[in-house]
Amino acid sequence: MPEAPPPAGDDAVPESLVRAGADELERAAEAALRPRRLEEFVGQRVVRDQLSLVLQAALNRGRAPDHVLLSGPPGLGKTTLAMIIAAELGASLRVTSGPAIQHAGDLAAVLSSLEEGEVLFIDEIHRLARPAEELLYVAMEDFRVDVVVGKGAGASAIPLSLPPFTVVGATTRAGLLPAPLRDRFGFTGHLDFYADDELERVLMRSAGLLDVPLEGRAAAEIASRSRGTPRIANRLLRRVRDWAEVRGDGRLTLSAARAALEVYEVDERGLDRLDRSVLQALCLRFGGGPVGLTTLAVAVGEEPETVETVAEPFLVREGLVGRTPRGRVAMPAAWDHLGLERPAPADTLFG
């Protein structure tokens, strides 16, 4: 089966405060806010519980735990958990990623230099090249890597045995992982979007670390606009802090939060300007649809791909937009959100 192309990625996207991806600069700012231990990690109760058992059992046995796969959308804490796993095990962490490994030889070099008990974090593991993937199966299962020496007919593979280690893989697209690779992980944790009260706790914790006076009601306001994503919550917190320091009295109050997020055009549900213009076009210009993606994109002056990969997933998740075989439709909640009267039932798909 042909693989779906990877999504455009957030670098292809107009500036926005509520996209879940992060650039290098932001990742650096995030490092300071990362929980270091499992008990500091907010929310994701199920995954946290399961992981704590896996880790404790391994510690009790004095052996490296099974390989761990972490899957879920960007900004929910996969990298954070990978670091926590190493910290909880008292092990050192080696970091690489699917795209960084161009050839199987690159991976063989990393694997053959691993020390006993180390944690190897492979980010974006769904982007590993096929030959590297095959090398990884063997290494994960048999703790062995075949080092190829020589070229052509004279080449031979020398098996090199590896000390026990643990692979932690992270992926935003678990569906793209080939089954044999997926099967080699003894534990898979799927991260889901956070509830607002969990994001409030993330925010209060971050405010403490950044030493900014964040009021409870402001935390709730920021949380509700953060799309279930800690990365976005932390980002909005930084922007509200800017506002409070420049235009307010330095305190992060409810009114400061609202004023700041108005400046940045992040609305009550965490929609940004592009999201809203898609909704407005759907409701006002196309009477709620159905309308084809290309037509809709032209109406908002964007590429179809941008509308489809950047704006649409969240709008669909929020129940604001529906996808039908005949095109995109505005759901009743879209009219409500824009403060418009819903069209008469007979005129809609839902009548």
Ligand X SMILES: Nc1ncnc2c1ncn2[C@@H]1O[C@H](COP(=O)(O)OP(=O)(O)OP(=O)(O)O)[C@@H](O)[C@H]1O
Catalytic residues: 78-79, 123, 172, 231
Residue 76 binds which one of ligand X, Mg ion, none, with CB within 5 to 8 A depending on kind? ligand X
Residue 284 binds which one of Mg ion, ligand X, none, with CB within 5 to 8 A depending on kind? none
Total residues binding Mg ion (CB under 5 A):
2
33 lies in the binding site for ligand X (CB under 6 A) = yes
**89 vs 296, which CB is nearer to ligand X?**
89
71, 79, 166, 226: which one contacts Mg ion (CB under 5 A)? Answer: 79
**208 vs 216, which CB is nearer to ligand X?**
208
Which residue numbers belong to the known binding site for Mg(2+)?
Answer: 79
Show contacts with ligand X in window 253-312 (CB under 6 A). none
Please name the amino acid found at residue 238: R
**67 vs 78, which CB is nearer to Mg ion?**
78
55, 58, 64, 78: which one contacts ligand X (CB under 6 A)? Answer: 78
111, 120, 177, 202: which one contacts ligand X (CB under 6 A)? Answer: 202
**34 vs 342, which CB is nearer to ligand X?**
34
CB of 170 to ligand X, least distance (A): 6
Do the Cβ atoms of 159 and 146 come closer than 8 Å?
A: yes
What is the distance between the alpha carbons of residues 49 and 316, in angstroms, rounded to a whole number?
A: 30
Do the Cβ atoms of 173 and 98 come closer than 8 Å?
A: no
Question: Looking at 28-36, 218-226, 245-253, 316-324, which segment touches ligand X (CB under 6 A)?
Answer: 28-36
**Interface residues toward ligand X, by CB under 6 A:** 21-22, 30, 33-35, 41-44, 74-80, 172, 202, 230-231, 234
**Interface residues toward Mg ion, by CB under 5 A:** 78-79
